Amino acid sequence: MTDPDRQEHLEAAAFRRLVQHLRERTDVQNIDLMNLAGFCRNCLSKWYKAAADERGIPLDMDEARERIYGMPYSDWKARYQTEASDAQKASFQQGARSRALEDFLLSLRTGAPLFADTLAFVDQHYDYQPGAFHNGEVANAAEQNEGSCKLLGLALLEGFSLEDTLLAFGEHYRSVQGEPHGTDHGNIRALIAHGLDGVRFEQLPLQRKG
Report whether pLDDT(80) > 90.
yes
| CATH number for the domain that contains residue 109 | 3.20.160.10
Which CATH number is 28's domain given?
Answer: 1.10.3340.10
Strand partners, 201: 133
**What is the b/e burial string over 86-103, where b = at least 16 CB atoms within 10 angstroms of the residue's CB?**
eebeebbeebebeeebee
Rg for the chain (alpha carbons), in Å?
A: 23
pLDDT of the residue at 90: 87
Can you give the pLDDT at residue 16?
A: 96
At residue 2, the pLDDT reads 74
The whole-number average pLDDT for the span 83-97 is: 87
pLDDT given for residue 72 in this prediction: 97
Q: Are residues 187 and 167 in the same domain?
A: yes
What does the pLDDT look like over 114-136, one tens digit per residue? Answer: 999 999 999 999 999 999 999 99
Same-domain check for residues 34 and 62: yes
> 200: which strand partners?
134
pLDDT of residue 1: 67
Model-wide pTM > 0.95: no
Query: Are residues 45 and 132 part of one domain?
Result: no
> Which residue segment(s) compose the domain that 101 sits in?
89-208
Distance CA 185, CA 148 (A): 10
Q: Residue 80: is it exposed, middle or buried by C-beta count within 10 angstroms (0-12/13-18/19+)?
A: middle
In a shared domain, residues 112 and 163: yes
Q: What is the pLDDT of residue 33?
A: 94
Q: Is the pLDDT of residue 63 over 90?
A: yes
The residue among 64, 82, 100 that closes a domain is 82
Q: Are residues 102 and 52 in the same domain?
A: no
User: Is the predicted pLDDT of residue 32 greater than 70, yes or no?
Assistant: yes
| 55, 133: one domain | no
Domain edge (last residue) among 82, 109, 143: 82
pLDDT of residue 204: 96
Whether residue 103 sits in one domain with residue 75: no
